Chains A and B, each alone.
Chain A
Amino acid sequence: MDHIQFKANQTAAGYVANGLDESTQEAFELHMMGCSECVADVEVWRAIKLEMPRQHAQVRTLTPRRKLAAFSDWRMAASLVGAGVIGATGGWLGKATTATDLDSTRTVVFNLPSVSRGADECTAMRLASDTRLAVLRVPGISKDLRVVALDSERRELPASDYTSRIQPDGSQLLKIDAALLAGRQVHLEARRADGTGEPLGCVTGLLP
């Protein structure tokens, strides 16, 4: 997407409103690195957003508010520290055929935020010597995409090695045997029904 398209689509306004999808956000942020006009637009919209008087917030609307708005200030932090992830995954894991004790060190929970995707090197997850299971949360994935795990030669791992599940908040959870991650690179890919996909990044397990 070029500058004219960003301007025509009011991308700067959408960026500040957190209304861009992952790929558009990344493209726009990269574009901002070389475009002072778009940076200025973002600054203006951010000023409007921050300084907008609260008494104007009494607008009656026909549709329900997005529930997440109330949590917006801390949701990123909370998601990244993994506390929310543990809660969100608890129900799913509780139903798993193999009971998983999330309080133990045998399970490591890891969030793969959009900001780290597409990075050159693998993101390292620290594993304990007795860690058996890794739970990866991948937010911001379109519901028509499925997150798959690939080995270092980009071949999909056998279905028996991991499971994936879509969460109500749109994120996807992957449950992977920790032994597959230890010292190895596991690539994640968002795959469409037609088999095409886009890379999400790479994780590797670090043993003490």
Chain B
Amino acid sequence: MNYTESSPTADLRAEKSLETSEGGDLSLVEAVAERTGLQNQLYVRYRRPLLQVFLHRRIARDAAEDLLQRTFLQAIKKIRTEGLDDPSNLGGYLYRTACKLATAYWRGELSRRHDNDRELLSNLKDEALSLEERLDHEQLAKCVRELMVHLPVQRDREVLERYYLHEEPRTVIRESLQLTDMQFNQVLWRARQRFGDILRRHGLATGETASAQSTREG
């Protein structure tokens, strides 16, 4: 099933209003129920956060793609048959569905399909793609290397390495480096901002990094 067929112009206009409306989930549920082109927004809006939910549960990207499809299919089926108990909380429903599918996956209760539709992925709008899917892997790796080399303070490098490579708890890192909670957060904040700068310098600015910059400058 492909949720990404191009929408008519009228739908595109409506999508814009859908994104900004307070009752976005409600409108989206209606669109799915009525099978209008707006239902594509379901994918645009929720694919990226749901993908992170699966990746966080150590599910490989291919399998995560499969589970994403299952999540959306299950939601669409539910909306079109029984309806949701709380249509204004579509995100919550999708989240819980994804969590249950992740659990079922690790219990081996799902058949491994992995029949990912590459065409579907290439047809997705940019805003539905994660950072890793939008950028070339080599470029991303180069940017991270640059970040690590150019962090001005050795201590900042140590924090990142211990936090992400060795998965040490932040309290342990803080205590050994005698950092307050706020100082620890500042290290992370500086690294995040610097990485955004590096991405931009390499012409890899995304909507989010640009927005982060404007926030910082504002």
Give me the interface of A with B, judged by CB distance under 8 Å: 8-10, 13-19, 29-30, 32-37, 39-54, 56-57, 59, 61-63, 65-66, 68-69, 72-73, 76-77, 80-81, 113, 115-116, 119-120
Contacts and interface: CB of A to CB of B under 8 A. Distances in A.
Contacts of B143: 51
A72 B169 CA distance: 13
Given A56-B148, A76-B106, A47 B167 contact: no
Interface string B35-72: 00000000000101110110111100000000000000
Contact residues of B: prevailing secondary structure: helix
Nearest to A41: B192
Given A48-B160, A48-B164, A53-B144, A76 B208 contact: no
Given A16-B56, A36-B127, A49-B165, 6 more contacts: A10-B184, A43-B130, A48-B147, A56-B148, A80-B107, A115-B57
Contacts of B147: 48
Contact of A115 (B52, B91, B99): B99
B102 to A, nearest CB: 5
Contacts of A29: 49, 52-53, 56, 95
A43 B48 contact: yes
Contacts, number: 163
A36 B103 CA distance: 25
17 contacts: A10-B184, A13-B192, A29-B56, A37-B208, A37-B211, A37-B212, A39-B208, A40-B212, A41-B192, A47-B131, A50-B132, A52-B148, A59-B157, A61-B158, A61-B176, A66-B167, A116-B100
Nearest to A49: B164
A54 B144 CA distance: 11
B49 A8 contact: no
Contacts of A61: 158, 162, 168, 176
A133 B85 CA distance: 36
Contacts of B107: 80-81
A119 to B, nearest CB: 6
Contact of A52 (B165, B168, B175): B165
A14 B59 CA distance: 19
Contacts of B157: 56, 59
Interface in B139-192: 140-141, 143-145, 147-148, 157-158, 160-170, 172, 175-176, 184-185, 188-189, 191-192
A53 B145 CA distance: 6
Contacts of B96: 119-120
Contacts of B46: 33
Nearest to A48: B144
Contacts of A34: 91
Nearest to A54: B165
B106 A39 contact: no
B206 interface: yes
B4 interface: no
Contacts of B167: 17-18, 66, 68-69, 72
A81 B106 CA distance: 7
A24 to B, nearest CB: 13
B164 A14 contact: no
B92 interface: yes
B25 to A, nearest CB: 8
Given A45-B192, A52-B161, A66 B166 contact: yes
Nearest to A80: B106
A3 to B, nearest CB: 12
Nearest to B46: A33
Contacts of A59: 157-158, 161-162
Contacts of A15: 56
A52 B192 CA distance: 14
Given A30-B92, A40-B206, A115-B103, A62 B195 contact: no
Contact of B208 (A33, A36, A50): A36
